[in-house]
Structures are given as structure tokens and as C-alpha cells.
Chain A
């Protein structure tokens, strides 16, 4: 029997037997693959944006005319901070016996995520009011709204998922099943961070610099 011992998946799953570990590693591995496929989706959106933001401006505004770097910077901070607080939630899950601390950190994370989405919606509002920059205005704006919008939908789905898991922590208790789900949500949340860093760099920074 030379199969490698399954490694400890994620941050922590408590003291468990080998079988649960195998099951957990399968689930976590599957989720990594899902994230990979999700990133391919974002890659296609990025590529479309890259083409559209230069060739698809038509008679609409240019990236530098519509982007507000300050607002994007605040959004970046909010999202990065929410990843940080999610880290605290996971630490609470690992070390704390009280589920209240876990719930509190999850709550902070969800609020930061919601604030992020709210800021982004406000950005859209400002762009539309000030620059008449609707998604229907030009190919560039179509691509911009789809890329950032898909990200915002992901964040919103993550918040909904967080609420569902919070309810499960309260009703089912932090059992291995729920913990495993929290670990996966953490992966998802961190991936969205990375995608946003990409958006901030390639869409906002490059857009304003150009």
C-alpha cells in the first residue's frame, strides 16, 4: 500500500479519522477545480475587456474619462479587509469554542462585502449620471459592466452563501460538514479578492494611466 497519506486539507478540520480526511480532501480538491474553471470564465471576460477597452470605444467615453480611481481604491481596501476578517472567522472556527465569535467575524466579513457591492453600484450610478456611460453605450462599456458585474454577482452570491452557512452554524452547529463548507467559502472569497486585484490593476489603473 504505497498510496500517499492525504495531507491536511485547508486550515483545520479538528481531530478526525483518516476516512473523513480522505472525504474532505476530495471535496476541497473538487472545489479547487471549480475555482479553476471559474477563473477561466474570468479570463475570458478579461480578454474580452482587453480587446474592447481599446477597440470598442466607438463614440462613447474612454476608460480614463469614466473611472474614479479613488472609489476603486476604497473598494479594493474593503474587499481585502473582508478577506482578512474571513481569516479571523476561520481562526475562530479553529480555536474558539464559542460559535458567537465565528458568527461575529462572518458578520463583519459579510458587511464589508456588502459595502463593496454598494460602492460598486454607486460607481455605476455615478458613471451613468455623469458620463451617460450605460452598458449599451459602447462595446468597451458592455465589457466593463460584464466583467465587474460578474465579479459583483460572485461577491453577492458569496454573501448569500455566508448567510446560509451562518444559519447552519447556528442550527446544525459547527460540525465537520459545515466547517468544510466554510473552508470552501473561504477559498471562494479569497479567489474573488485575487480577481478583484486583477480588475483593479488592469481595468482601473491601466485604464486611468492610458
Chain B
């Protein structure tokens, strides 16, 4: 009886979304996907590392799944195994018990060390990166393209096969920025910058989002990431530049108010240094919102060696 109910539940659960999907409008929707469906080398490498760890861990996990049933069967009450109630130690066992995990952890640690450095989000992925500045707001993301002089809200256009260098901060509470199919996540914090380097080698649309709870609009704080070939990207930039909306301090002030955005916005022009002004609001206090960006980054630039080579040398 229990089994029938279970199956009924599973089957109905499986059929519901299909129905729901059929009811959806034809407009393409981007769904969340993880690093299993990697669309860039970083995410792909992260998933590969994931698989490596699992296969190494099986060395200690599999024996347990074999040993436990075997021991349970052989040494069950009434079983055939010899009963030796005072047997409680053996040096040979001990050596294996401690030795195997130690060796395994050494191997895992060396992999961890290498991969942590290789896939450090701060590590540049090549020359001529596309710079994008990210400001997380409640409950949306602002993307500034300083080289192109444009900005977008909740829409991230990326050039295929070109290294992307994101510089992130927050205009509000701490958030965590992530496009799972392209790279891992990184926190955004007010008055501080973090960095995320990524590369997309597959054209397509991917879902990016905030993963750190920040209030009522958290669940829907996601954005579309469009990866397009160079020509298409350049077209998109030109097209966006024609947009009459400007992102200046006043527009930013308006964006600071918490809101749930359903439609992306595009800004054809951006006030130079807006990102640093956003930073400066928190570093020098509200009274000194216009202190120079250089000072600001000196005070608060997140002390990361690759971010601050001078600091690393000292």
C-alpha cells in the first residue's frame, strides 16, 4: 500500500512540471543549471575536480559499504563468525586505519592546493580581458562596461572566448554573485571590491543569480547571461550605446531603493567613475562621497596579492 502511494506521488510529481511547461508562453526562459552543464573552462574544471575528489574518496567509502553488510551478516547473533569479546586491538589494523586516510588526504591536499590556485577567481584567464563592473543591489544586479561606456541592469552580455574580468561590489547588504555554468561565486560587499575571472566558450544564455539571502526579493534576484560571438557582441554594444538612458548618480540613487525587476534595463551612457563613487559612499562616509577614487581603492581595496601586487611584494 505504502509503495503504491509513493509511486503515485512520484508519477504525479513528474507529470506536473510537464503540464506546467506546456502552459508556458513560447518566450524562451533561461533555467538554472549547474556546473554539470558547464559552458566555460572554469566551471568545467570545477566539475572535473569534483569528480576527481569523488573517485578518490571512493577508496575509503566503498570498503565501508562492503564491510558493514558483511560484518553484519557474519557476526550477527547466530552467525558463523567467531565471537571474541575481548579482542580490541591490532597494530596492523591500526596502521592501515590511520595510514590509508593519511595518504589519501595527502593526495587530496596536493590536488586541492594545485586546483585552488589554478582556479582562483582572482587569477586572470588571458590577455585583453573584457572588464565589467558589477554592483549588487536589492534585488538586482547592475553591470557597468567601463571600456564601452554602457551599463545594464539584470542583463549580462559576454563575448564568447574572451576572458572576462569582473570587479564586484555591493550598494547594499552582502550578496553572492554567481553564474554556475561559467564559474563559481564570489561575495559582493559594500565598500570593498572582489574579483571574478571567467571565460565562456559556448554561445548561449545562462542564468546568473545572487545566492546570499538578502530579503524579500531574494528568490527572484537572477539575471540572464548572454554569451555571443565577437561580432554579435560588438553589435550589441553599439545598439546599447544608442540607448538614450544615462546611468548617473541620480539614476543610481533611484536604483538603490529595493525593488524586484522583471525586465532588464539598458543605459547608453554611464558617468565615469560611478563604480568608485559607489565604493566611496561606504569608505569615506556619506559626507565625503566625492573623495577621489584612488584614495578609496587604497583604503579598502581587498588585500589580495593578485589584486594588489605591490602589497604582495612587501
| Chain A 31-62 per-residue mask, 1 if CB under 8 angstroms from chain B, else 0 | 00000000000000000000000000011000
Once the chains are docked, how many angstroms separate the CA of A59 from the CA of B288? Answer: 9
**What's the Cα separation between A59 and B287 when bound, in Å?**
9
Q: How far is B280's CA from A108's CA once the two chains are assembled, in angstroms?
A: 53
What residues on B are CB-neighbors of A59 within 8 Å? 284-285, 287-288
Q: How many residues of A contact B (CB 8 A)?
A: 2
A68 to B278, CA, bound (A): 36
Task: Give the complex CA separation of A59 and B281 in angstroms.
Answer: 12
Measured CA separation A59–B191 after assembly (Å): 14
A8 to B98, CA, bound (A): 42
Shortest CB–CB separation between residue B26 and chain A, in angstroms? 53
Q: Is the interface of A mostly helix, strand, loop or mixed?
A: loop
Instruction: List the interface of chain A (C-beta within 8 A of B).
Output: 58-59
In the complex, the 7 A-B pairs of residues with the closest C-beta atoms, listed nearest first = A59-B285, A58-B285, A59-B284, A59-B288, A59-B287, A58-B284, A58-B283
Q: Compute how far the CA of A59 lies from the CA of B299 in the bound complex, rounded to whole angstroms.
A: 11
Closest-by-CB residue of B relative to A137 is B285
**Distance between A61 CB and nearest chain B CB, rounded to angstroms:** 13
* Complex Cα–Cα for A58 and B280 (A): 11
- Distance of B281 from chain A, by nearest CB (Å): 12
Closest residue of chain A to B283 (Cβ to Cβ) is: A58
Give Cα A59–Cα B280 distance, bound, in whole angstroms.
12
7 contacting pairs across A/B (C-beta < 8 A): A58-B283, A58-B284, A58-B285, A59-B284, A59-B285, A59-B287, A59-B288
Q: Which residue of A lies closest to B286 (CB)?
A: A59
CB distance from B176 to the nearest CB of A (A): 22
Q: How far is the CB of A55 from chain B (nearest CB, A)?
A: 8
Minimum CB–CB distance from B193 to chain A (whole Å) comes to 14
CA distance A58 to B287 in the complex (A): 11
Across-interface contacts of B285 in A (CB, < 8 A) = 58-59
> Can you name the residue of chain B whose Cβ is closest to the Cβ of A58?
B285
Distance, CA A171 to CA B284, complexed state (A): 59
Best-surrounded residue of B284, B285, B287, B288 (most CB of chain A within 10 A): B285
Which B residues are in CB contact (< 8 Å) with A58? 283-285
- Nearest CB on A from B290, distance (A): 13
Closest A residue to B282 by beta carbon equals A58
**Bound-state Cα–Cα, A59 to B291, Å:** 11
A141 to chain B, nearest CB (A): 13
Instruction: For B287, list chain A residues within 8 Å (CB).
Output: 59
